Structure 1
């Protein structure tokens, strides 16, 4: 038997070999005698450019910082800050400006940290290639490879450019990053149709793919952006960033507030001028109304809520590049996910052995193998299929090292894509053969009964089937078929649970893979993605290209779904960019994919996505209830100021007092509210409708009623104190009553259905501490003459502060009682 590897290129200039100035001569059968000369290569490099994929520009620190000021709410606050400064209200301007800056710094710190972490994931060494130059094999940076170069390939190499094979010996490449195909592709120097699908171009190798076994020689046909990888990078230009559902919903709320604020300010200004008030008094009233209407703490609350989600997700193996990405997953209705390495383990595994003696089947498999397991018995070097065979053999106590020691090899016929088999003759005269059943079956005269039926059964389960036979002597004839081995990339155990959890949460899981339809559907059924009676075409997409993935994402978006897309290969990048949220794999993903993503999974695990969905829903719930809490206060303040202007009373609260309420006694409890722990039932409910507003009818109804109740309480105490004669004292009592009402209502705001002791007062100790701290600050104002003067307040007696506290309990008490009444009506 001939050793067919004898004609392959054996000599490799490695990183540890001689320097580039000492090239070695190589005789390559079938290749041009010289390849390119250095002069011609230099000319082509100037003509075609460097062999590089144009990387997306990473965001600069200034770019990340400026993005924090995009929100309409921030723009509104900056406007209020400018107006206050022009009118000499410097305390107001400083306070508003501080909130804006704090919000920007928090967002910048989180997103810039994510950018730095992303950079750390990139390879720190430039890839290199071995090519023929002036008749010698030289190693040079892959960026200097040009069309016409002759590449020398062997196992472990990363292909430096798109190239047509001139010679191939047992050559196979891993094209998962480009095509999604999980199994190494056998290559041969036999031309295929020029219009063949990418996954079927067995006569070519492609930039960025890895050689898993064998050797080869190939002539470069395309470099850089002209390669298949470059074409996919071009698709990124056809995609666009999509505003997240949270951004869209908050923008709608902001627009509503702006329109309501503008209408009331104009109305009050017109009313004041009609009554003959001076323009300065009218302007002061308008500023007071504007300050009352704007929830100054909202941007900081949203940013901190998302930042906390980022921290929690980092602890769960997810790196968030954009703060809003955490909440977006909570809105997801469809998750389009890659199979290999995400839903599955990413390694081949023997799932089933058919044959009279499974031990003999695995022994022969280990005896006809070139791969080697590592010391741990898991990792190793060589073809993934052979590593799977060795792991299964090791589980039965079969060690390849012992076979090589006790029965040394005499001759080897390597696996070849044309013969579709491999054989090893050992010193004891036994010949071990493995390969495709259709190739081995005609060469066997024993053990073949039932083999074809078993082959169809195993293939129907989505398994890759390998036949194993044994003979004697060097000739591959008169063999005994020992059995069949069924292999597959098995599902992650936690992925099965995660898919079920996603289904229970109303989130569709759609599997997109480069594998065959049979394999994809088998894995889909095993994972629970495809249940009996469901349309496979809706849930499973096989043999897809980059264009197909982009089309699938766009189709779901057109149907009004919120789409999350996962991927690890360059062919996933356009779809990741197009989706509402792109999720890249950190361990196996390519750099282009990670740059296109909003979130990077450092464990490449689908279960992490489901965890993120729960986290996102919790963040949304916390933001919404906190927004309702803030707006009850702001709407109440707006009604209070409008009512006083309408009846001709002095302003119940000055702009600085309103700002104090919004920033201290509203915003501080709001920051604690947004940190409420996630409720257990979040994943048992369907996702929010994509068109569902942040604040629906029930929320606005609650805001208006509770705001009106606060107005009634505060206006009552203001009028009772006689504001015409004692305006500073009246303002002081109204001020304290409103502050205490807001602080007490924070406890009731934690749940729309459960009263505060059912929620658990100690499950959010921060809120308890913040309320006590804010109440202390409020009381301190009346003890410090300078503070009273700054806020324009009169002095209050202790009994009056007690009265303000008692009156402040009314809104929270009414809210809690209403929950009990609704529960009683529902039975």
Structure 2
């Protein structure tokens, strides 16, 4: 008889908690006194976490924008000049914007705290000759860990004993299949995935039992070394932040130049300092789109809410838009592109029912009541699920043909056998081990060729045989079972959608190259004629992942990186956007990420890319809409100053326009529904500015048109005779022009009724509400006094509304003319 025999009735001793201690084995372990001394010397067995941002840090971060700094400056000067209404209005803008951003980001921080609290690992160790259970943070070097299936390893430890022991090291290496362990030394410089004599912190025991002496704890473990790599990475500024920063710098420079010019002209004309400062504030207010920070924040916050409904938790608001700029997605395989569970993909042999029956009869694992979840080795669970699909139940086999003898799987023998009460012996294991023990027939001749073919398709091959009596000799080879971690069905569609959207999908995994390429071809990541070395990376380490991400970034790509293991965390931090798995992801990975997928699904990433592109489109058209108004106001104020006219608008009137009649429609514009064709386009070039030459020409042309219209109205109203009335008429004309222009802003090519007025009912309601609000201002004496408005007759308000229709009418007619010209 070959290999150790284990009577079915005998079970491994299970360590007991300290309340009922009893000796286990001959290994005494450390004394409690020595353990206490070593804990003080080496510190607690914990991976250092990133410092969670305090509420104050999250709040202060909302004030980093140069535009916010400019607004605070304008508000401060207004207060010094006694323009308290202006100062309060500007302060309200800044506070509202900061609160919106703070609430969204602080909410994400709290959600991560909740995710972190879901795990409270404990460990079983030998202390003073007894098995005790204690928090894993109290494990010290020299402790002896007791391991069995279902345990999470509490530290890096060298094996003293191993009985059919296997661990899942996916969190550390990315390898999806369990790794067999043995208590025999391997080379100290062996790759991590080949250190079969060591178990590692954070990995899970999938089968067997063992004893292991702790060699490293905390940050000295392999997981700790990977966590150290996080220090060499840095948060990357998002494309949206970069583009908005460029627009802000342009606005600041333009504002500064105009303010200096007007101030110089005022002083040259002999105007007093107070008048010059008031003019400067007016120009600053006119030049800066005060509502832009709030509009961008709200647009991203809405994206956060929509993403949460689609199983994605956003840690940073800008991360939503960054996905819309993504050109390369580097993704882990196990659990993201695949289901994360082994599955029988193919059965080779004459009688597949007999093969699956023998597989179920030679198992230690057990399925749960639902037939899906269970306990035991993932490979055996896959066999039991395949057998159950054919109506074969292990519990019925156990009841009808009880086990008499079991030879457990061992990494040396590479096989397992079970003798049943009817004399039948069922054996499963590696084909090269079983073939010499099988009778030569047609199956055995062609089995090697079939095994090579299955392995070439990335399948893990298991041979199944049957015999009579306890001896593992003269067996009949029943066939082969090919298993793999199958692709998620929705991931195939998602990869195709990414390809159609011009986004490269790059698989990075710790699995073998054959398995990775087979899955890559099945998913559509790797297609005929494509360079496999660029699309598929196998057997990678944490350093390799970091190098791959940096390589894509150096080529000018916008990179998203997904992962669940600690070995993914440095690359997640280095990428433009890091995406962690919420279900299977480690704590270090979640803390390094910008986005956490609560369903661990690659398809969610493609949904986020669509969402990000829609948000970018809406932000850009909203920015154009706002800047047209600001350029119009600035041109109006500058032109009036150059020709020596009184200021057509005072600062509070400009703030009213920018906040009420500009920002409210802008809020509706950023909520425009996402168009389905966005994913059919290639991604934006990483160097593409937020506003290109076409957008700036449009802004200058339409802004100048509005300025000339309002300046003409102001001059016609005779400011020399009644400046308040002239300002009131110019004020209303500009308000109505900008409100109505919002309908044309929804599309650069389609007429507003083609876009569909009712597809954005919020915009329609806001425009109607704002027009009514503007009319009410003239009916309230207190409001007229606050804004410095003269009384207007209803006919004059009607004239202002009619004149306000001119810009939007001209814009819509231009779209029609261009369409006709293009044929």
TM-score, normalising length: structure 1: 0.98
1:399 aligns with 2:393: yes
1:769 aligns with 2:765: yes
Query: C-alpha displacement at 1:570, in angstroms?
Result: 0.7
Partner of 2:5: 3
Partner of 1:502: 498
Query: C-alpha displacement at 1:653, in angstroms?
Result: 0.5
C-alpha offsets along residues 574-610 of structure 1, whole Å, 9 cap, x if unaligned?
A: 1111111110001111111111111110000000000
Q: Which runs of 5+ in 1 are unaligned?
A: none
1:323 aligns with 2:317: yes
Partner of 1:645: 641
> Equivalences for 1:92-107 in 2 at 5 Å?
92-107=86-101
The separation in 1 between residues aligned to 2:449 and 2:19, in whole angstroms, is: 60
Partner of 2:38: 44
The separation in 1 between residues aligned to 2:13 and 2:456, in whole angstroms, is: 43
Aligned partners of 1:9 and 1:216 also within 8 Å: no
Partner of 1:276: 270
Aligned partners of 2:311 and 2:604 also within 8 Å: yes
> Equivalences for 1:621-660 in 2 at 5 Å?
621-660=617-656
The separation in 2 between residues aligned to 1:613 and 1:490, in whole angstroms, is: 24
Q: Given the alignment, which residue of 409, 415, 418 partners 1:424?
A: 418
Aligned partners of 1:156 and 1:210 also within 8 Å: yes
The separation in 2 between residues aligned to 1:228 and 1:695, in whole angstroms, is: 47
1:792 aligns with 2:788: yes
The separation in 2 between residues aligned to 1:494 and 1:154, in whole angstroms, is: 35
SS of 1:217's partner is strand
> Equivalences for 1:168-207 in 2 at 5 Å?
168-207=162-201
Summarize the Cα distance change of 1:782–1:750 in structure 2 as closer, same or farther, 3 Å threshold: same
C-alpha offsets along residues 685-729 of structure 1, whole Å, 9 cap, x if unaligned?
A: 000011111100000000000001001110111111111222111
The separation in 2 between residues aligned to 1:576 and 1:383, in whole angstroms, is: 30
Partner of 2:153: 159
The separation in 2 between residues aligned to 1:5 and 1:65, in whole angstroms, is: 65
SS of 1:448's partner is helix
SS of 2:746's partner is coil
Summarize the Cα distance change of 1:125–1:493 in structure 2 as closer, same or farther, 3 Å threshold: closer
The separation in 1 between residues aligned to 2:469 and 2:481, in whole angstroms, is: 24
Runs of 4+ in 1 over 4 A off after TM superposition: 4-9
The separation in 1 between residues aligned to 2:769 and 2:297, in whole angstroms, is: 22
Q: Given the alignment, which residue of 300, 306, 312 partners 1:312?
A: 306
Query: C-alpha displacement at 1:123, in angstroms?
Result: 3.9
Aligned partners of 2:361 and 2:394 also within 8 Å: yes
The separation in 2 between residues aligned to 1:699 and 1:360, in whole angstroms, is: 70
Aligned partners of 2:142 and 2:214 also within 8 Å: yes
Partner of 2:22: 24
Aligned partners of 1:4 and 1:169 also within 8 Å: no
Partner of 1:135: 129
Aligned partners of 1:465 and 1:487 also within 8 Å: yes
Question: After alignment, is 604-613 or 816-825 more displaced?
Answer: 816-825
SS of 1:534's partner is coil
Question: After alignment, is 440-449 or 230-239 more displaced?
Answer: 440-449
1:214 aligns with 2:205: no
Query: C-alpha displacement at 1:7, in angstroms?
Result: 14
Partner of 2:752: 756
SS of 1:121's partner is helix
C-alpha offsets along residues 509-554 of structure 1, whole Å, 9 cap, x if unaligned?
A: 0001110000000000000000000000100000011111111111
The separation in 1 between residues aligned to 2:328 and 2:363, in whole angstroms, is: 43
Aligned residues: 819
Aligned partners of 1:9 and 1:215 also within 8 Å: no
Partner of 2:358: 364
Query: C-alpha displacement at 1:795, in angstroms?
Result: 1.1
The separation in 2 between residues aligned to 1:118 and 1:40, in whole angstroms, is: 36
Query: C-alpha displacement at 1:325, in angstroms?
Result: 0.6
SS of 1:571's partner is helix
Query: C-alpha displacement at 1:6, in angstroms?
Result: 10
Query: C-alpha displacement at 1:36, in angstroms?
Result: 1.4
Q: Given the alignment, which residue of 296, 301, 315 partners 2:295?
A: 301
Partner of 2:811: 815
Partner of 1:724: 720
C-alpha offsets along residues 422-471 of structure 1, whole Å, 9 cap, x if unaligned?
A: 00000111100000001001111143021011001101100000000001
Query: C-alpha displacement at 1:209, in angstroms?
Result: 0.5
C-alpha offsets along residues 278-330 of structure 1, whole Å, 9 cap, x if unaligned?
A: 22111111111011001000000000000000110011000111111100000
Partner of 1:479: 475
1:250 aligns with 2:244: yes
> Equivalences for 1:69-80 in 2 at 5 Å?
69-80=63-74
The separation in 2 between residues aligned to 1:512 and 1:95, in whole angstroms, is: 51
Q: Given the alignment, which residue of 464, 467, 471 partners 2:463?
A: 467
1:712 aligns with 2:708: yes
Query: C-alpha displacement at 1:9, in angstroms?
Result: 8.8
Summarize the Cα distance change of 1:125–1:313 in structure 2 as closer, same or farther, 3 Å threshold: closer
Partner of 1:35: 29
Aligned partners of 1:424 and 1:432 also within 8 Å: yes
Q: Which runs of 5+ in 2 are unaligned?
A: none
Aligned partners of 1:328 and 1:616 also within 8 Å: yes
Query: C-alpha displacement at 1:822, in angstroms?
Result: 1.5
Aligned partners of 1:5 and 1:414 also within 8 Å: no
Query: C-alpha displacement at 1:34, in angstroms?
Result: 2.2
SS of 1:689's partner is coil
TM-score, normalising length: structure 2: 0.98
Aligned partners of 1:310 and 1:326 also within 8 Å: yes
1:511 aligns with 2:510: no
Query: C-alpha displacement at 1:21, in angstroms?
Result: 5.0
